[in-house]
Structure 1
Amino acid sequence: MSQRLFRFFPLCLVFLFALTACTEDVQRTLQPTPSAFGQINSLVVIADSSTWEAGVGDSVAYFFEAPYILLPQPEPIFDVRFIEPERVEAEPTWGQLRNYVVLADLSDTDSPTTQMVMQDLNNEKLQQIREEGYGTAVAKNKWATGQQLIYVVGTSHDKLLTGLSKAYPGVVKRLQEGEDERLKVTTYFQGVNRRLGDTIRDLLGTSIDIPGGYTRVPLDTDEVVWLRREVQGASMNIMLTKTPYENESQLSKEGLKEIRDRIGKEYVSSTTPNTYMRINDEDLPLFTEATRLNGAFAIEGRGIWEIENDFLAGPFVSYLLNDTTNNELVLVDGFVYAPGRKKRDLMEEIVQVIRTAEVN
C-alpha cells in the first residue's frame, strides 16, 4: 500500500508541474498585447551609451532634431529620447511607445543593442549588411500593437555613422508617413463639417474637408472665407480666396506673397487701430517650392506672419493652386496664433486640412 502511494506521489508532482506550465503558457497566450502610445512626432532612439556618446548622438540630433520649417521659435522635427536596450526590460513602459530607431554596431558583439538586433533580424538581412557595410530594416509591433522599429546597422562604428547619414531621409519619410495617419485621426476626431465644405465649394469652387470645431468668421465679403478653431492657448485659422489667373509669374513666391498680403491687409487686424497682417520675410525667410496637390500644380509657402503696428505674430503655410478649369488661382492659407505655446503640432494639423483641398 505504501509503495503504491510513493509511486503515485511523483506522478502527481509531474502532472501538477506540467499543468502549471501549460497554465502559464495559456496565460501568456491570452494576455492582451498592449497598444502603443505616445505623443505625435515623438521618437525613441535605442543604442548603447558608448555608441551614443561616440558621435552617434550628435548625428541623431543633426538629422532628427533639425528645426521644423518654419516657426518663430525653433522646434525640432521630432522630440527625441535616447535609451539603452536594458531599460526596455527594466521598465516595460518604454517598450510601449510608437516610434523607435535602433542603432547598432555589429563589430561590438558584447553590445546589448547588437545582441537584440541579431535576434530580431533574419540571417539573410544580416548577411546583406555584412556584405554592404551597413543597412536598414523595419519591424512592426515588437512590444506593442501599433509601433514600428527602424533598425540602422553598421559593421563598424564608422559604417554605422555612414549608414545613418545615407538612410536618414528615408527613415524620416517613413516616420512622418506613420505620424500623418495619426494626425489625420486627431484632426478629424469630431468628423467633417459638411456644411462649411459645401459653402466653400459654392463660393470658391474648391473642395476641402473642414474638421468639426471650425466656425466661419463673419466678413463683409464672400470672396474670402475665413475659418477659425479655438483650442487651449491657441487660435487655428484657415483662409481661402481666389483670383483670376493672368500670367505664369503669379505662380511664384512673389505671387503668393502678393495675394496673402492683400487679404491680410484687408481682413485681418488686431484690436489696435491701424493694424493689419503681413508676411515678415525680413527676420526669417519665406520658403516656397513648386509641388502638386491632388493633381493641381501649386506653390507651397511657409513663413512667419505678423500684425503691423502691434506685437502679434506666428507661423503660416499657404498653397497657391492653379485651377486650370476655371482659369483661376486659389489660395488656401493656414496660420496659428499661440503665444507661449509650442506650434509645430498645431501647424501639422492645419497642413492635414489644407492638403485635402482640390480644384479642377
Structure 2
Amino acid sequence: MHRFYCLFIFAAFSVFSCQKDNSSLPRITTGKINTISVIIEDQLWNGEIGDSIRNKFAAPVIGLPQEEPLFNINQYPVKLLEGFMTDTRAIIVVKKTEVNKFEIKKNQYASPQNVFHISGRTVSDIVTIMEQNAPQMISMIKNAEIAASQKINLQSLLDPKIIENKFHTAIQVPTGYVYVLQKRNFLWLKKEFIGGNTSLLLYQVPLDKYRTDKNWSAKVIQLRDSIGNLYIRGKEPHTNMITEEAYSPYFSKTKLNKYTAYETKGTWQLNNDFMSGPFINYAILDTTYNRLLILEGFCYAPSKDKRDLMHELESIIKSARIIKKEP
C-alpha cells in the first residue's frame, strides 16, 4: 500500500511538473503571411490615426501591376489585448496616454514577434510618432515575414546539389518547383498551380564585363531582356520575354548576405503577346568567383493577387548563400 501511494504521488508530481514546464514554454506565433494586428480603440481607428496607419502599412506594394496592400491589417479594440495573449507575428498597439512614447518589445506574447507600442497625449502626437517610426517598423515586419516564409520552405526542400554544383550557391527552394531548362550558366525552375505559375531564374556572367559600368539600372534591364530573348518565350514565334516599358522599374542598391547587389522590381511581358506579370531581380556582385550572379523570380497569375506569390519568391532568393572556395 505504501508503495502504491508513493507511485501515485510521483505520477501526480510528474503531471504537475509537465504542465508547469509546458506553460512556461514560449507560445509560437501563427497567422497568415503579411498580416498585422492593430490594437486601437474604434474612435481612434476611424480618425486621423487610423488613416495614418492605413497610408503607411497598407500602401501599394512596389512593382506589382495592380494595387495590393503592403500588409493586411486586422484592427481590434484595446480591451481584447488586455484580455488574452495574441499570437500574431506583428502587433501595433496604439493608446492615448499622458506620455509620448514609442517602444518595441520582442516576443512579448509569443515568438517570434514584434510588438510596437505607440502612445501620445494627442492625436497629432501619435500621428507624428507613427510617421517618424513607420520606415523602421515596416522594415522589421518585412524581415520577419521573410523569415517566416523561409521557415515554411525549410519543411520540404528541393535537392540543392544541381544549383550548388553549377553556381556555388546554396539556396532554399521548396519542393513543388521543377527544373524546366538547364544550360551551362542558366537555370529555370517553375512551380505550377491552378491559375498560373511562379518561376525562379539563376544565371551568371563575368563580372569584369560590368565592373566599370555606372548605369546599373539600364545594364540589369539589358541583361534580363537578353536572357528572355535566349530562353523564355511563349508558344508563338517572336514572343520572347521583355521588361515592360510602360512602367519604369523600381531600382535600388542593397546588400544580399554581405554582398553588394542591385534590386530591380518591375513588370515583364511577352513580346507580341498578352502575357505579363511582376518580377523581382537581384544582381549580386560576387567578387569571390568574379561574376555577376543574377537571381530572379517572376509570376504569371492573371486572376490572382500577386503580392504573396512574389513574397515567396523573394524569401527564396534571400535565402541564397554563396559557397566559399576551399583554401
Give the Cα separation in 1 of the matches to 2:265 and 2:51.
Answer: 27
Q: Give the direction of change, closer, same or farther, for the CA distance of 1:136–1:197 in structure 2 (3 Å limit).
A: same
Give the Cα separation in 2 of the matches to 1:234 and 1:346.
Answer: 10
For structure 1, which segment, 97-106 or 55-64, has the greater mean C-alpha deviation from structure 2 after superposition? 97-106
Deviation, 1:157, is 1.9
Q: 1:50-69, aligned counterparts within 5 Å?
A: 50-69=43-62
Number of the residue aligned with 1:124: none
- Please provide the CA RMSD for this pair: 2.8
2:68 and 2:307 in contact (8 A); partners too: yes
Give the Cα separation in 2 of the matches to 1:34 and 1:82.
Answer: 21
Number of the residue aligned with 1:5: none
Higher strand fraction: Structure 1 or Structure 2? 2
SS at match of 2:181: coil
- Equivalent residue in structure 2 for 1:259, among 214, 220, 223: 223
Deviation, 1:206, is 4.2
Unaligned 5+ segments in structure 1 are 1-24, 108-129
Deviation, 1:84, is 1.1
- Deviations, residues 188-209 of structure 1 (Å, cap 9, x unaligned): 32135223323433xxx44434
- Is 1:104 the counterpart of 2:127? The answer is no
2:160 and 2:171 in contact (8 A); partners too: no
Number of the residue aligned with 1:308: 271
Number of the residue aligned with 2:38: 45
Give the Cα separation in 2 of the matches to 1:139 and 1:298.
Answer: 29
- Equivalent residue in structure 1 for 2:261, among 286, 298, 318: 298
Higher helix fraction: Structure 1 or Structure 2? 1
For structure 1, which segment, 188-197 or 65-74, has the greater mean C-alpha deviation from structure 2 after superposition? 188-197
- Equivalent residue in structure 1 for 2:156, among 157, 180, 190: 190
1:152 and 1:164 in contact (8 A); partners too: yes
Give the Cα separation in 1 of the matches to 2:305 and 2:71.
Answer: 13
Q: 1:239-254, aligned counterparts within 5 Å?
A: 239-244=201-206, 245-247=208-210, 248-249=212-213, 252-254=216-218
Give the Cα separation in 1 of the matches to 2:112 and 2:180.
Answer: 38
Aligned-residue sequence identity (percent) comes to 26
Q: 1:270-285, aligned counterparts within 5 Å?
A: 270-282=234-246, 284-285=247-248
Number of the residue aligned with 1:178: 144
> TM-score, with normalisation over the residues of structure 2?
0.83
Number of the residue aligned with 2:105: 138
Higher-Rg member (1/2)? 1
Deviation, 1:149, is 2.4
2:102 and 2:116 in contact (8 A); partners too: no
Q: Give the direction of change, closer, same or farther, for the CA distance of 1:147–1:335 in structure 2 (3 Å limit).
A: same
What residue identity is the alignment partner of 2:34? N
2:157 and 2:172 in contact (8 A); partners too: no
Q: Give the direction of change, closer, same or farther, for the CA distance of 1:170–1:213 in structure 2 (3 Å limit).
A: same
What residue identity is the alignment partner of 1:140? N
2:158 and 2:173 in contact (8 A); partners too: yes
What residue identity is the alignment partner of 2:89? R
Q: Give the direction of change, closer, same or farther, for the CA distance of 1:189–1:232 in structure 2 (3 Å limit).
A: farther
Number of the residue aligned with 1:268: 232
Deviation, 1:30, is 8.5
What residue identity is the alignment partner of 1:262? S
Number of the residue aligned with 1:288: 251
Give the Cα separation in 1 of the matches to 2:284 and 2:310.
Answer: 19
Number of the residue aligned with 1:236: 198
SS at match of 1:95: coil
- Deviations, residues 39-93 of structure 1 (Å, cap 9, x unaligned): 0010111111221223011101111011112111111111012221235578x6x
1:229 and 1:235 in contact (8 A); partners too: yes
- Deviations, residues 9-64 of structure 1 (Å, cap 9, x unaligned): xxxxxxxxxxxxxxxx99x9688586542100101111112212230111011110
- Deviations, residues 236-284 of structure 1 (Å, cap 9, x unaligned): 21112222332421760111011100010121111233211000132x2
For structure 1, which segment, 299-308 or 35-44, has the greater mean C-alpha deviation from structure 2 after superposition? 35-44
SS at match of 1:70: coil
Give the Cα separation in 1 of the matches to 2:105 and 2:288.
Answer: 43
Number of the residue aligned with 1:12: none
1:235 and 1:337 in contact (8 A); partners too: yes
Give the Cα separation in 2 of the matches to 1:30 and 1:259.
Answer: 56
Deviation, 1:180, is 2.1
